[in-house]
Amino acid sequence: MTIIDLSGKRALITGASRGIGRAVARAYAQAGAHVILLARTTGALEELDDQIRENGGTATLIPQDLRDFEKIDMLGPALAEKFGGLDIFVGNAGMLGTLGPLAHTDVKKWQGVMDINLNANFRLIRTLAPLLLASSAGRMIFTSSGLAERALAYYGAYASSKAALEMMVKTYAAETEKTALRVNLVRPGVVDTAMIKEAYPGGYPGELRQPEDIVPVFMHLAAPDCKKHGRAVSLSDL
């Protein structure tokens, strides 16, 4: 993996307590960034914090549920007050939801998937945009899915939320084309995470990537010299 220097950068990562978010947090901290870790699970965040500090990095923990939209709206001003700004935002938190026929999907469960995968990221864009636009090399990176453009039976809520996320992010990228902010998405492929275990309780029938395998994409998109903008990037694109 290409070594990228993130010294002095402030990076917020959602869904940081496990899986891809955890791997990205460790990599950014090792590259010199101060990582701000947001997730619901306090114990897992504290364990990650210990690992980061043991390796010489620094972290701030934010135990928070992304469905608390009022708290999300206050996040940008709170980070500005505490850290003086923000340079990198990784919108990684995601929810699979219940798999099943679209016409039989429970309305509340559908809304839950949309709230985490789409609406929370909309609120995060709104609250974090002033900070990232003020950075000399602001970066917004969102975790998407190949299902954003490929229909697969029984994944209606999840796939719809990711398709909407991609359009929202690409729209914001078009609106910030003439700024220093770079806005992109990552399509990680099939990764060995809690979500894939939820989707395939009997075990995924094919080959799985590990969360660490996807880190180079997030490193590339966070780099101060990255030129990509409004793209959905896979490992094969590097």
The CA distance from 142 to 99, in Å, is 23
Nearest to 211 by CA among 227, 189, 233: 189
Task: Check if 200 is active-site.
Answer: no
Nearest to 95 by CA among 111, 78, 73: 111
Catalytic site residue from 28, 155, 158, 172 = 158
What is the token pair recorded at 30? 């090792």
Residues 94-125, buried b or exposed e (16+ Cβ, 10 A)?
Answer: bbbbbeeeeeebeeeebebbbbbbbbbbbbbb
Which residues form the catalytic set? 158
